[in-house]
Structure 1
Amino acid sequence: MSRFLVVDACVATSASTKQIPVSKICKNILDEVLKSTHKLVFNQQLQKEWFDHPSKLGIMIFSSMKSRGRIIKIDESGEISHLKEKVLVIKDRSRVPAIMKDMHLIEAALLSDKIIISLDKKARNNFCSILNDVQEISVVNWLNPEEPNENIFLWFSNGANYEESRALRNFVPQTTS
Protein backbone atom coordinates (compact mmCIF):
# COMPACT_ATOMS: atom_id res chain seq x y z
CA MET A 1 0.00 0.00 0.00
CA SER A 2 1.28 3.45 -0.88
CA ARG A 3 1.87 5.91 1.93
CA PHE A 4 1.75 9.69 1.83
CA LEU A 5 5.02 10.84 3.42
CA VAL A 6 6.15 14.26 4.59
CA VAL A 7 9.91 14.46 4.07
CA ASP A 8 11.48 17.50 5.68
CA ALA A 9 13.69 19.68 3.49
CA CYS A 10 16.65 18.95 5.79
CA VAL A 11 16.61 15.36 4.51
CA ALA A 12 16.59 16.51 0.87
CA THR A 13 19.32 19.12 1.38
CA SER A 14 21.53 16.66 3.27
CA ALA A 15 21.23 13.93 0.63
CA SER A 16 24.25 13.44 -1.58
CA THR A 17 26.70 10.84 -2.82
CA LYS A 18 29.37 12.16 -0.45
CA GLN A 19 30.70 9.62 2.01
CA ILE A 20 29.52 11.69 4.97
CA PRO A 21 27.25 9.40 7.04
CA VAL A 22 24.22 11.73 7.21
CA SER A 23 24.46 12.50 3.47
CA LYS A 24 24.58 8.82 2.64
CA ILE A 25 21.64 8.00 4.95
CA CYS A 26 19.50 10.78 3.48
CA LYS A 27 20.36 9.70 -0.07
CA ASN A 28 19.35 6.14 0.80
CA ILE A 29 16.06 7.35 2.32
CA LEU A 30 15.20 9.30 -0.83
CA ASP A 31 16.19 6.28 -2.94
CA GLU A 32 13.82 4.12 -0.84
CA VAL A 33 11.00 6.57 -1.44
CA LEU A 34 11.73 6.68 -5.17
CA LYS A 35 11.83 2.91 -5.64
CA SER A 36 8.65 2.40 -3.59
CA THR A 37 5.11 3.35 -4.55
CA HIS A 38 4.88 5.95 -1.76
CA LYS A 39 4.05 9.56 -2.48
CA LEU A 40 5.64 12.76 -1.16
CA VAL A 41 3.30 15.31 0.37
CA PHE A 42 4.03 19.02 0.04
CA ASN A 43 2.33 22.12 1.24
CA GLN A 44 3.48 25.50 -0.01
CA GLN A 45 6.00 26.08 2.79
CA LEU A 46 7.60 22.65 2.55
CA GLN A 47 8.04 22.92 -1.21
CA LYS A 48 9.58 26.37 -0.77
CA GLU A 49 12.06 24.93 1.74
CA TRP A 50 13.00 22.09 -0.59
CA PHE A 51 13.78 24.60 -3.35
CA ASP A 52 15.30 27.44 -1.30
CA HIS A 53 18.46 25.44 -0.54
CA PRO A 54 18.28 22.59 -3.01
CA SER A 55 20.61 19.66 -3.35
CA LYS A 56 21.05 18.18 -6.80
CA LEU A 57 19.87 14.82 -5.54
CA GLY A 58 16.83 16.26 -3.77
CA ILE A 59 15.72 18.10 -6.92
CA MET A 60 16.34 14.99 -9.03
CA ILE A 61 14.16 12.91 -6.68
CA PHE A 62 11.43 15.59 -6.67
CA SER A 63 11.46 15.74 -10.48
CA SER A 64 11.35 11.95 -10.80
CA MET A 65 8.51 11.69 -8.31
CA LYS A 66 6.60 14.50 -10.04
CA SER A 67 6.95 12.86 -13.47
CA ARG A 68 5.52 9.67 -11.96
CA GLY A 69 2.57 11.50 -10.45
CA ARG A 70 3.81 10.87 -6.91
CA ILE A 71 3.99 14.46 -5.64
CA ILE A 72 0.87 15.39 -3.72
CA LYS A 73 0.31 19.10 -3.11
CA ILE A 74 -2.03 20.01 -0.31
CA ASP A 75 -3.40 23.28 0.95
CA GLU A 76 -3.51 24.11 4.60
CA SER A 77 -7.05 23.33 5.52
CA GLY A 78 -9.49 25.13 7.74
CA GLU A 79 -9.87 21.91 9.70
CA ILE A 80 -6.38 22.31 11.18
CA SER A 81 -5.95 26.09 11.17
CA HIS A 82 -6.86 26.20 14.87
CA LEU A 83 -3.62 24.38 15.72
CA LYS A 84 -1.49 27.48 15.11
CA GLU A 85 -3.81 29.44 17.38
CA LYS A 86 -3.23 26.85 20.11
CA VAL A 87 0.56 27.06 19.64
CA LEU A 88 0.48 30.83 20.04
CA VAL A 89 -0.87 30.48 23.58
CA ILE A 90 1.27 27.60 24.92
CA LYS A 91 2.76 27.99 28.37
CA ASP A 92 6.42 27.96 27.26
CA ARG A 93 6.37 31.11 25.11
CA SER A 94 10.09 30.78 24.31
CA ARG A 95 9.34 27.78 22.07
CA VAL A 96 6.64 29.47 19.97
CA PRO A 97 8.89 30.86 17.17
CA ALA A 98 10.67 27.54 16.63
CA ILE A 99 7.42 25.57 16.70
CA MET A 100 5.69 27.93 14.28
CA LYS A 101 8.67 27.66 11.90
CA ASP A 102 8.09 23.90 11.59
CA MET A 103 4.31 23.80 11.98
CA HIS A 104 3.89 23.22 8.23
CA LEU A 105 5.38 19.73 8.68
CA ILE A 106 2.77 18.83 11.28
CA GLU A 107 -0.02 20.32 9.18
CA ALA A 108 1.02 18.34 6.09
CA ALA A 109 1.31 15.16 8.13
CA LEU A 110 -2.11 15.59 9.73
CA LEU A 111 -3.67 16.09 6.29
CA SER A 112 -2.06 12.91 4.95
CA ASP A 113 -0.85 9.67 6.57
CA LYS A 114 0.54 11.36 9.71
CA ILE A 115 4.18 10.47 8.94
CA ILE A 116 7.16 12.86 9.00
CA ILE A 117 10.73 11.95 8.11
CA SER A 118 13.11 14.56 9.49
CA LEU A 119 16.59 14.96 10.93
CA ASP A 120 15.42 17.81 13.16
CA LYS A 121 15.70 16.58 16.75
CA LYS A 122 14.97 20.00 18.22
CA ALA A 123 11.74 20.33 16.24
CA ARG A 124 10.54 16.90 17.41
CA ASN A 125 11.45 17.76 21.01
CA ASN A 126 9.60 21.08 20.71
CA PHE A 127 6.46 19.40 19.41
CA CYS A 128 6.65 16.77 22.16
CA SER A 129 6.87 19.55 24.75
CA ILE A 130 3.45 20.95 23.75
CA LEU A 131 1.41 17.75 23.52
CA ASN A 132 -0.68 18.69 26.57
CA ASP A 133 -1.59 22.01 24.93
CA VAL A 134 -2.01 20.76 21.35
CA GLN A 135 -3.12 17.15 21.71
CA GLU A 136 -4.07 16.77 18.04
CA ILE A 137 -0.40 16.55 17.03
CA SER A 138 0.31 13.62 19.36
CA VAL A 139 -0.69 11.08 16.68
CA VAL A 140 2.03 12.13 14.21
CA ASN A 141 4.78 9.56 13.52
CA TRP A 142 8.18 11.27 13.41
CA LEU A 143 11.11 9.25 12.12
CA ASN A 144 14.69 10.45 12.21
CA PRO A 145 16.84 8.55 9.69
CA GLU A 146 19.98 9.53 11.58
CA GLU A 147 18.87 7.61 14.68
CA PRO A 148 19.93 3.93 14.30
CA ASN A 149 17.49 2.71 16.96
CA GLU A 150 14.57 4.00 14.86
CA ASN A 151 15.33 1.39 12.17
CA ILE A 152 13.93 3.48 9.35
CA PHE A 153 15.13 1.11 6.61
CA LEU A 154 13.42 -1.83 8.32
CA TRP A 155 10.31 0.36 8.65
CA PHE A 156 10.47 1.03 4.88
CA SER A 157 10.91 -2.65 4.05
CA ASN A 158 7.85 -3.43 6.21
CA GLY A 159 5.67 -1.05 4.19
CA ALA A 160 6.27 2.33 5.87
CA ASN A 161 3.12 1.89 7.90
CA TYR A 162 1.84 4.20 10.58
CA GLU A 163 2.97 2.77 13.92
CA GLU A 164 1.51 3.86 17.23
CA SER A 165 4.90 3.32 18.89
CA ARG A 166 6.37 6.07 16.67
CA ALA A 167 3.69 8.64 17.54
CA LEU A 168 4.93 11.84 19.16
CA ARG A 169 2.96 10.95 22.30
CA ASN A 170 5.19 7.89 22.74
CA PHE A 171 8.50 9.63 22.11
CA VAL A 172 10.79 10.46 25.01
CA PRO A 173 12.52 13.74 24.12
CA GLN A 174 16.29 13.59 24.02
CA THR A 175 18.75 16.30 24.86
CA THR A 176 20.09 17.91 21.70
CA SER A 177 23.49 19.30 21.07
Structure 2
Amino acid sequence: MANNYSVIIDADIARSSGMTEHPRSSGSRALLNAVSQNGHMIAMCPTLGAEWKKHRSIFATKWLASMIAKKRINRINPQATTKTLIVDNLKDKKIAIALKDAHLIDGALEVDCIIASNDDIARSVFCELSITCGSLRAIKWFNAIADREIVTDYLVSDGFVPKKYYLVAETTAI
Protein backbone atom coordinates (compact mmCIF):
# COMPACT_ATOMS: atom_id res chain seq x y z
CA MET A 1 0.00 0.00 0.00
CA ALA A 2 1.33 3.43 -0.92
CA ASN A 3 1.84 6.26 1.51
CA ASN A 4 -0.78 8.96 1.43
CA TYR A 5 0.68 12.05 -0.19
CA SER A 6 -0.34 15.67 -0.54
CA VAL A 7 0.14 16.41 -4.23
CA ILE A 8 0.43 19.83 -5.84
CA ILE A 9 -1.69 19.61 -9.00
CA ASP A 10 -1.27 22.51 -11.41
CA ALA A 11 -4.35 24.19 -12.83
CA ASP A 12 -3.33 23.13 -16.34
CA ILE A 13 -4.33 19.61 -15.36
CA ALA A 14 -7.66 20.86 -14.00
CA ARG A 15 -8.28 22.71 -17.27
CA SER A 16 -7.39 19.80 -19.56
CA SER A 17 -9.12 17.00 -17.64
CA GLY A 18 -12.15 16.79 -19.89
CA MET A 19 -14.15 13.74 -20.87
CA THR A 20 -12.56 13.15 -24.29
CA GLU A 21 -10.06 10.42 -25.07
CA HIS A 22 -7.48 12.92 -26.29
CA PRO A 23 -4.15 12.08 -24.57
CA ARG A 24 -4.01 15.42 -22.72
CA SER A 25 -7.56 15.03 -21.43
CA SER A 26 -7.40 11.33 -20.57
CA GLY A 27 -3.94 11.65 -19.00
CA SER A 28 -5.01 14.55 -16.80
CA ARG A 29 -8.20 12.73 -15.82
CA ALA A 30 -6.22 9.55 -15.02
CA LEU A 31 -3.89 11.49 -12.74
CA LEU A 32 -6.79 13.06 -10.83
CA ASN A 33 -8.43 9.65 -10.49
CA ALA A 34 -5.17 8.06 -9.27
CA VAL A 35 -4.91 10.72 -6.55
CA SER A 36 -8.52 10.22 -5.47
CA GLN A 37 -8.71 6.44 -5.70
CA ASN A 38 -5.49 5.85 -3.77
CA GLY A 39 -6.24 7.98 -0.72
CA HIS A 40 -3.98 10.92 -1.56
CA MET A 41 -4.76 14.58 -0.98
CA ILE A 42 -4.49 17.67 -3.15
CA ALA A 43 -2.48 20.45 -1.54
CA MET A 44 -3.61 23.95 -2.42
CA CYS A 45 -2.26 27.35 -1.55
CA PRO A 46 -4.52 30.38 -2.15
CA THR A 47 -2.84 31.14 -5.51
CA LEU A 48 -3.32 27.59 -6.79
CA GLY A 49 -6.90 27.54 -5.51
CA ALA A 50 -7.67 30.71 -7.47
CA GLU A 51 -6.11 29.22 -10.61
CA TRP A 52 -8.19 26.06 -10.24
CA LYS A 53 -11.35 28.09 -9.73
CA LYS A 54 -10.66 30.07 -12.90
CA HIS A 55 -9.53 27.22 -15.19
CA ARG A 56 -11.08 23.92 -14.08
CA SER A 57 -13.10 21.71 -16.40
CA ILE A 58 -16.47 20.23 -15.51
CA PHE A 59 -14.73 16.95 -14.64
CA ALA A 60 -12.22 18.76 -12.39
CA THR A 61 -15.04 20.68 -10.71
CA LYS A 62 -16.79 17.43 -9.78
CA TRP A 63 -13.49 15.80 -8.83
CA LEU A 64 -12.57 18.67 -6.51
CA ALA A 65 -16.05 18.63 -4.93
CA SER A 66 -15.60 14.93 -4.17
CA MET A 67 -12.17 15.60 -2.66
CA ILE A 68 -13.66 18.34 -0.47
CA ALA A 69 -16.44 15.97 0.63
CA LYS A 70 -13.82 13.33 1.53
CA LYS A 71 -11.84 15.99 3.45
CA ARG A 72 -8.82 15.43 1.22
CA ILE A 73 -7.88 19.02 0.54
CA ASN A 74 -4.72 20.12 2.30
CA ARG A 75 -4.99 23.92 2.50
CA ILE A 76 -1.49 25.33 2.85
CA ASN A 77 0.09 28.77 3.13
CA PRO A 78 3.73 28.18 2.24
CA GLN A 79 6.37 30.84 2.57
CA ALA A 80 6.99 32.50 -0.78
CA THR A 81 10.74 31.89 -0.88
CA THR A 82 11.05 30.65 -4.45
CA LYS A 83 10.48 34.09 -6.01
CA THR A 84 13.72 35.38 -4.46
CA LEU A 85 15.63 32.32 -5.67
CA ILE A 86 14.27 32.85 -9.18
CA VAL A 87 15.15 36.54 -9.38
CA ASP A 88 18.62 35.97 -7.89
CA ASN A 89 19.56 32.96 -10.04
CA LEU A 90 17.79 33.12 -13.42
CA LYS A 91 17.96 35.50 -16.34
CA ASP A 92 15.65 37.10 -18.89
CA LYS A 93 12.63 35.11 -20.13
CA LYS A 94 13.29 32.28 -17.69
CA ILE A 95 12.44 34.57 -14.77
CA ALA A 96 8.92 35.18 -16.11
CA ILE A 97 8.40 31.47 -16.83
CA ALA A 98 9.48 30.48 -13.32
CA LEU A 99 7.64 33.25 -11.47
CA LYS A 100 4.35 32.08 -13.00
CA ASP A 101 4.73 28.73 -11.21
CA ALA A 102 6.80 29.67 -8.15
CA HIS A 103 3.80 28.90 -5.91
CA LEU A 104 3.91 25.26 -7.10
CA ILE A 105 7.49 24.93 -5.85
CA ASP A 106 6.73 26.69 -2.55
CA GLY A 107 3.75 24.38 -2.03
CA ALA A 108 5.64 21.21 -2.94
CA LEU A 109 8.41 22.06 -0.49
CA GLU A 110 5.76 22.61 2.20
CA VAL A 111 4.19 19.16 1.73
CA ASP A 112 5.44 15.96 0.05
CA CYS A 113 7.58 17.37 -2.80
CA ILE A 114 5.29 16.10 -5.59
CA ILE A 115 4.07 18.29 -8.45
CA ALA A 116 1.82 17.20 -11.27
CA SER A 117 1.91 19.66 -14.18
CA ASN A 118 1.91 19.40 -17.94
CA ASP A 119 4.18 22.46 -18.23
CA ASP A 120 7.49 20.99 -19.39
CA ILE A 121 8.95 24.43 -20.09
CA ALA A 122 8.53 25.50 -16.46
CA ARG A 123 9.91 22.14 -15.37
CA SER A 124 13.09 22.63 -17.40
CA VAL A 125 13.57 26.13 -15.94
CA PHE A 126 13.21 24.78 -12.40
CA CYS A 127 15.67 21.99 -13.24
CA GLU A 128 18.15 24.70 -14.24
CA LEU A 129 17.40 26.57 -11.00
CA SER A 130 18.17 23.40 -9.04
CA ILE A 131 21.85 23.77 -10.00
CA THR A 132 22.16 26.65 -7.53
CA CYS A 133 19.16 25.87 -5.31
CA GLY A 134 19.64 22.36 -4.01
CA SER A 135 16.36 22.20 -2.09
CA LEU A 136 14.48 21.93 -5.41
CA ARG A 137 16.21 18.61 -6.18
CA ALA A 138 13.90 16.79 -3.74
CA ILE A 139 10.83 17.65 -5.83
CA LYS A 140 9.31 15.04 -8.14
CA TRP A 141 7.61 16.70 -11.15
CA PHE A 142 5.29 14.50 -13.21
CA ASN A 143 3.66 15.28 -16.53
CA ALA A 144 0.17 13.73 -16.64
CA ILE A 145 0.59 12.83 -20.31
CA ALA A 146 4.23 11.86 -20.83
CA ASP A 147 4.65 10.31 -17.36
CA ARG A 148 1.19 8.77 -17.07
CA GLU A 149 2.35 5.23 -16.23
CA ILE A 150 5.12 6.14 -13.77
CA VAL A 151 3.00 8.66 -11.85
CA THR A 152 0.08 6.25 -11.63
CA ASP A 153 2.38 3.44 -10.48
CA TYR A 154 3.97 5.74 -7.91
CA LEU A 155 0.61 6.89 -6.53
CA VAL A 156 -0.67 3.31 -6.39
CA SER A 157 2.35 1.48 -5.01
CA ASP A 158 4.87 4.08 -3.79
CA GLY A 159 7.51 2.57 -6.07
CA PHE A 160 10.94 3.81 -7.05
CA VAL A 161 11.02 7.09 -8.95
CA PRO A 162 13.91 7.42 -11.45
CA LYS A 163 16.13 10.51 -11.23
CA LYS A 164 14.72 12.02 -14.45
CA TYR A 165 11.44 12.82 -12.66
CA TYR A 166 13.16 14.96 -10.03
CA LEU A 167 13.94 18.63 -10.56
CA VAL A 168 17.56 17.94 -11.30
CA ALA A 169 19.58 19.50 -14.10
CA GLU A 170 21.72 17.18 -16.22
CA THR A 171 24.87 18.43 -14.50
CA THR A 172 23.70 17.81 -10.92
CA ALA A 173 23.07 14.73 -8.85
CA ILE A 174 20.62 13.97 -6.07
Equivalent residue letter for 2:42: L
Distance across 2 between alignment mates of 1:33 and 1:57 = 14
For 1:62, the aligned partner's letter is L
Q: 2:106 aligns to what?
A: 107
Q: How many residues are matched?
A: 168
Q: 1:101 offset after TM fit, Å?
A: 0.6
Distance 1:154 1:116 in 2: 15
The one-character-per-residue Cα deviations of 1:53-94 (angstroms, maximum 9, x if unpaired) are: 2201111111100111100110122xxx44321211224233
1:19 and 1:123, CA in 2 relative to 1: closer, same or farther beyond 3 A? same
Q: What RMSD, in angstroms, separates the aligned Cα atoms of the two structures?
A: 2.1
Note the alpha carbon deviations across 1:24-81, whole angstroms, 9 max, x for none. Answer: 111111111111210100001111111112201111111100111100110122xxx4
Secondary structure at the residue paired with 1:5?
Answer: strand
For 1:29 and 1:40, the matched residues in 2 are separated by 11
Partner of 2:157: 158
Aligned residue runs from structure 1 range 121-140, under 5 A = 121-140=120-139
For residues 86-127 of structure 1, give each alpha carbon's deviation from its aligned partner in whole angstroms, at most 9, with x where no partner exists. 211224233111101100000110000000011110010110
Query: Following TM superposition, by how much is the alpha carbon of 1:170 offset from its aligned partner in structure 2, in angstroms?
Result: 6.1
Alpha-carbon offset, residue 149 of structure 1: 7.9
Structure 1 pair 63–37 and aligned structure 2 pair: CA distance change class (3 A): same
Pairwise mapping of residues 56-67 of structure 1 onto structure 2 (< 5 A)?
56-67=58-69
| Equivalent-residue separation in structure 2 for 1:148 and 1:167 (angstroms) | 12
Structure 1 residue 155, shift from structure 2 partner: 2.0
Measured in 2, the distance between the counterparts of 1:132 and 1:85 equals: 15
Alignment of 1:81-92 (within 5 A): 81-92=80-91
Unaligned runs of 5+ in 2: none
| Structure 2 residue matching 1:65: 3-state secondary structure | helix
Which residue identity lines up with residue 47 of structure 1 in the other structure? G
Distance 1:50 1:75 in 2: 16
Partners of 1:142 and 1:168 within 8 A in 2: yes
- Are 2:130 and 2:136, in contact at CA under 8 Å, matched by a contact in 1? yes
